[in-house]
A and B are shown apart, each in its own frame.
Chain A
Amino acid sequence: MTDISRRKIILSGLAATAGVAGLGMAARIAKKYGLIPPDHGGIYGPGETLNYAFQRLVAQHSLAREFPRNQISKRPFPNEIAPPSGAFKRLQAGGFIDWRLLVDGMVERLGSFSLDQLRSYPRQSQITEVACEEGWSYIAEWTGVRLSHVLNIVGVRPQARYVVYFSIEPDWWDSLDIDEAMHPQTFLTYGMNGDDLPVAHGGPLRMRVPRQLGYKSVKFITRLTLTNDLKKFGKGLGSAAPEAGYAWYAGV
């Protein structure tokens, strides 16, 4: 009997040690391969980390589904936006001629782009679905320039790991890891369904991240910042979403 219990104690001790060592190893590997999201703390951290790590391992290079033209939604739902700020209204009154996209942070050259400049770059289109975390969705054709194209113009320094993007509206910002930012379907969009992008849908300039939920596609983009450390922004959770209780990684 004592033999059995001693063996059990030794075995469970070994198993516990192996478990702790395994977890430590997993954490180191996860960190090395960038599998840990900025909002990995707190009681829901393990779930957020599994969601993000799974995406990095399984879906990093996959493309969001694209649809035939006849599946474009007749009535795309624009969702709610706060009343535009004074700064937005002034630019809107001028036909967005003075709208600028600033690019700073870990770049070789600071960038400042007008909408006409962005329109002069290779024009890309995608017919993809916007899915809200609430459950509704619609399909639209989005036209714009690949974010990677703009990033290559300013030159991303090798240390940069994230692109932080800001709306002209206060407290509306988000970020992407560099792979998602360089993904061929990540667009700075200025057109929708063959027209200029309507203000209700984020015009004149909206980030489009079709492999993630709608809230990642922030409206009214005026600034991009490249960084290696998201702790410097807001509460350090990577975007405004986790500060409101939502996941930074919005692929589920």
Chain B
Amino acid sequence: MSTSDAAQDLPQASVRSSTSAPATTARNPRHSPGVRISHWIITLCFFALLLTGIEILISHPRFYWGETGNDLTTPLFRIPIPSSRNLVPTGYGYVLPDQNGWSRALHFQAAWVTVLTLGLYLIAGFFTGHFRRDLAPGKVDFSWQAFSAAIVSHLRFKRPSETEAWSYNLLQRLAYLVVIFVLFPLVIWTGLAMSPTFTAAFPSTVTLLGGRQTARTIHFFVSIALVLFLLVHIVMICLAGFWNRTRAMITGRAATRMERT
């Protein structure tokens, strides 16, 4: 770290004790370094997983329920796209380029990085109080009034207030909690439930889901849910001020009224 960083760090303690909340935090990082680093690593991995996931899907764009399913059985549904394999009955008279080999390799490599990063993030999040402080909804948030007010202000596309820029509102907290504690664990679980070796060691991981093909289908839908989250996430960032929010996630600093005046 350079000395200029250290110089900026020093006056913080005195400022923190003497002024009101939004002003003091102006010099505190909006997001801790751990949150920033894991955010961007997982962002990168997510795009790799999404792209390669689509490539893998193209080799067999049919989905089934239960343990087994193949070209000779009736699918639960199929994606109306051509396939990269000529035996799949897609209704198209041609096949797409086959990218399954490297896609699988990159999919698993990105999955490893995601799982390891997410693991560190979860451990750190519990120990530093990140989840309790930043993500767990407060008691008032659970009132019906607070909940409906948050939904109404979202539906009106109201820009967040300055103080809100320094913490998460109720809907954000719930969305992040669902992504971190429901969707990511579920997508990892259903991914592992498709591995013949992993299910040999831990058979209940697939039998609990109801079979290998069910795991694959759930994996697909959870991925769709994560993509929807990503789209909403990006829209909300644009509404709240794209560069300011993005800078806050890169450098940790966010512009506030105090800095602007």
Contact = CB atoms under 8 A, between A and B. Distances in A.
A and B from one complex: yes
Interface of B: 1-3, 6-7, 10, 56-57, 59-60, 62, 64, 67-73, 85-87, 100-102, 104-106, 108-110, 112, 194-201, 203, 206-207, 212-213, 216
A5 B1 CA distance: 6
A2 B1 CA distance: 11
B68 A139 contact: yes
B194 to A, nearest CB: 8
B201 A58 contact: yes
A2 B5 CA distance: 11
Interface string A59-79: 100111101000101011101
Given A79-B87, A133-B104, A251 B71 contact: no
A71 B67 contact: yes
A184 to B, nearest CB: 12
Given A5-B6, A129-B212, A247-B105, A77 B196 contact: no
- Max chain B Cβ within 10 angstroms of own Cβ: one of A46, A47, A210, A247: A47
Mostly, the B contact residues are helix
Contact of B196 (A1, A2, A50, A251): A251
A38 B19 CA distance: 62
B69 to A, nearest CB: 6
B252 to A, nearest CB: 17
Interface in A237-252: 244-247, 251-252
Given A47-B109, A212-B196, A137 B212 contact: yes
A73 B73 CA distance: 9
A199 interface: no
Given A1-B6, A71-B67, A212-B197, A135 B108 contact: no
Contacts, number: 130
A51 interface: yes
B72 A77 contact: yes
B67 A129 contact: yes
B196 A129 contact: yes
B118 to A, nearest CB: 15
A141 to B, nearest CB: 14
Interface size class of A (residues with CB under 8 A): 35 or more
A44 B102 contact: yes
A55 B196 CA distance: 11
Given A137-B70, A244-B101, A246-B101, A64 B196 contact: yes
A213 B71 CA distance: 17
Contacts of B62: 135-136
Contacts of A129: 67-68, 196, 212
Given A135-B216, A136-B71, A251-B195, 20 more contacts: A4-B1, A5-B2, A5-B3, A44-B106, A47-B112, A48-B105, A50-B109, A50-B112, A65-B207, A67-B67, A77-B72, A79-B87, A129-B68, A134-B59, A134-B85, A135-B62, A139-B67, A211-B196, A213-B196, A251-B198
A80 B71 CA distance: 12
A63 B202 CA distance: 10
A77 B64 CA distance: 14
A247 B101 CA distance: 8
Interface in A1-43: 1-2, 4-5, 8
Contacts of B73: 73, 75
Nearest to B59: A134
A252 B199 CA distance: 10
